[in-house]
Amino acid sequence: MKKIFLSLSLIFLFASCLNDNNSATSLSLPTTQSDTITYSSISSDSFSDYFNGYTEGDSPSSTYYTTVSGTWEIVNVSGNLKLQETNGTSTGIIYQKNFECEDGYVIAKVKSQSLTEEAGLIARYKDSSNYYTLFLDDSKIKLKKKVNGSWTTLADASFSFTTSTTYTLKLELSGTSLKGYINDTLYVEATDSSLTSGYFGMRTNKNPAIFDGFQIYVNDSSSSNSSNSDYSSGVLRTVTVSSASELSSALSNAEAGDKIVLQSGTYNDNFKITTNGTKDNPIWIVSENSSNKAIIKGNSTNSGVAFTATGDYIIIDSLKITNGKKGIILDNSNHSIVDNCEVYNIGEEGIHVRDGSKYVTIQNSYVHDTGLVTIKYGEGIYVGSDYKKWTSNGGNYDADCDYTQILNNTIGPNVTAEHIDIKEGVTGTIVDGNTFNGVGICDTTNGGTSFIDVKGNTSTISNNYGYQNGNSLIENAFEVHDAYSGWGDNNTFYNNTIEFDSDNYDSYVVQVGDISSISGSPDNTTAYNNTRTPSSGNMYDLK
């Protein structure tokens, strides 16, 4: 399930905080194949797709993409799902169909499979005879236009790429200005007024290129869609509610393709949805007015869950969740999304991905004031379960909460335990673009005094910003632990920025530790290109 409309206000905050030493508002983009994309700050609607929400062999969701030509399939590359034009003998074009706009950005990681054929991005796409394109070809980066079927080169520059390396391309449009970047370095630019609006997408020509991290950022004033205003694609029925009883009824009777719209106001109760959506017809639970979010107020911070989802393909969008022992729980809920929500005043954890929930995305949300009742369980976002609670060990929860994406959230203040806790048994978590406010972390008895504690495998922690903010209880920014045999391995930390209050040499940006007598040390922790201020303190203790 790939529709993700992003509010970029939090991304703007994140990017501006990291911009003390650079005049540009975007971060340096990474260059290796395993890296994820950083973000540029503009006021916009957005879409992102890391392709983790599919199964190998799938076609991209017709709810969000239009395939014009070629054969576009999800492929497995070294355990990671990506998008490939697998035909490789003609032109392949696919575009994101929900945004027709004038200005914005399109970004993707591109691995060309040919040195002499084209692979790259398209913008202002109207039809197969009219669009702009930025692509790699024949040791060059080229910016071209196709108007009424005729090609014109607007700009090109030498760039000796290889087929073994992934490059991040970005095509930026503002009025008549077009700019093309590789790894956030400007290579080509031109002025042209031939095409004024259209769609963003990806393109190949006789090249089975591989794409990942497809992102678009759309200027609000030119977009034909705005976040949360139109979910027409995939919606089969709209149910508008204005009371707790109406909401309970709508959730109980939900069907795939329902958009349950909450009018502004407070809905007092603990709510649950158990119905499955589908990839092309998910179920939305969404505020009617994203600037005046509906409030789901649970029954007590001492018991119960304010909102629980056990169905697949559920989108929880633009809601405030408060006054539960737990805020949002996703149990065995696959391909679901929490987007642009605020979770606060919670007795224990804010958002918990649990009991075999896979391919979940939590993004653009604000989690604060958790752990009001139990400090040690006051995590902001919690992925997986302690091994003692696994079904394989006689407990109640499936451990495999794999491929969760935690993107562009603000966590804290007053999150009492770790801002993000990735438990043993969990694989492939991506934590990217988040902001951590250290005020209120205080779980000294249980060791929850870091922004992130990783006990799972193959996590990627990148492009995050954390600041201590006067909290002397914070021990390290990020920690890796071996809570259970075979876990805590192969985790990567890069391009993160941490602001400590002083040269505290006992604190690390990344620290690896042993906590379990039934396991060995965490293996293969990788950390690079992280920034610490003040710079004279410790960086890494990787064992």
Q: How far apart (Å, rounded) are the C-alpha atoms in residues 334 and 402?
A: 10
3-state secondary structure 17-36: HCCCCCCCCCCCCCCCCCCC
* Cα of 328 vs its chain's centroid, Å: 18
The closest of 338, 498, 474 to 416, measured between CA atoms, is 474
Q: How far apart (Å, rounded) are the C-alpha atoms in residues 419 and 258?
A: 32
pLDDT 10s digit of each residue in the chain, 543 long? 333 333 333 333 223 333 332 222 222 222 332 333 332 333 335 677 888 778 899 999 887 899 999 999 999 998 888 999 999 999 999 999 878 888 888 999 999 999 999 999 999 999 999 999 999 999 999 999 999 999 999 999 999 999 999 999 999 999 999 999 998 899 999 999 999 989 999 999 999 999 998 988 776 444 444 333 334 468 899 999 999 999 999 999 999 999 999 999 999 999 999 999 998 899 999 999 988 999 999 999 999 999 999 999 999 999 999 999 999 999 999 999 999 999 999 999 999 999 999 999 999 999 999 999 999 999 999 999 999 999 999 999 999 999 999 998 999 999 999 999 999 999 999 999 899 999 999 999 888 899 999 999 989 999 899 999 999 999 999 999 988 888 999 899 988 999 998 766 678 999 998 765 555 678 889 898 899 998 888 899 987
Q: How far apart (Å, rounded) are the C-alpha atoms in residues 293 and 295?
A: 6
The pLDDT, as a whole number, for residue 273 is: 98
Other CB atoms closer than 10 Å to residue 324's CB: what's the count?
30
Which two three-digit tokens encode residue 203? 């393109």
Q: How far apart (Å, rounded) are the C-alpha atoms in residues 13 and 464?
A: 12
Label residues 131-144 b or e (16+ Cβ within 10 Å = b).
bbbbbbbeebbbbb
The pLDDT, as a whole number, for residue 226 is: 34
What does residue 412 show for φ and ψ, rounded to 5 degrees? 95, 160
Which two three-digit tokens encode residue 421? 């806790």
* Distant-in-sequence, close-in-space partners of 229: CB < 8 Å, separation ≥ 6: none
41 DSSP β-pair partners? none
Which two three-digit tokens encode residue 501? 């209050």
Q: Distance of CA 238 to CAs 118, 235, 285, 288, Å? A: 43, 7, 10, 11
* Distant-in-sequence, close-in-space partners of 121: CB < 8 Å, separation ≥ 6: 106, 107, 108, 110, 133, 134, 135, 169, 170, 171, 200, 201, 202, 203
Instruction: Give the sheet arrangement for strand 130-137, strand by strand.
Output: 65-69, 91-96, 199-205, 118-127, 130-137, 140-147, 150-158
CB 363 within 8 A of CB 379: no
* Distant-in-sequence, close-in-space partners of 40: CB < 8 Å, separation ≥ 6: 15, 25, 26, 105, 107, 170, 217
In 10-165, beta strands by DSSP E? 44-49, 65-69, 72-77, 80-85, 91-96, 104-111, 118-127, 130-137, 140-147, 150-158
Which two three-digit tokens encode residue 315? 């989108």
Burial environment of residue 9 by CB neighbours within 10 A (0 to 12, 13 to 18, 19 or more)? middle
The pLDDT, as a whole number, for residue 10 is: 32
Q: What is the CATH number of domain 6-222?
A: 2.60.120.560
Which two three-digit tokens encode residue 508? 């690390």
The pLDDT, as a whole number, for residue 184 is: 82
* pTM over the 0.75 mark: no
Q: How far apart (Å, rounded) are the C-alpha atoms in residues 379 and 375?
A: 9
Domain boundaries, the chain: 6-222, 347-541
Which two three-digit tokens encode residue 476? 């390290």
The pLDDT, as a whole number, for residue 54 is: 82
Q: What share of the chain is helix, strand, coil (3-state, %, to 5)?
A: 5, 45, 50
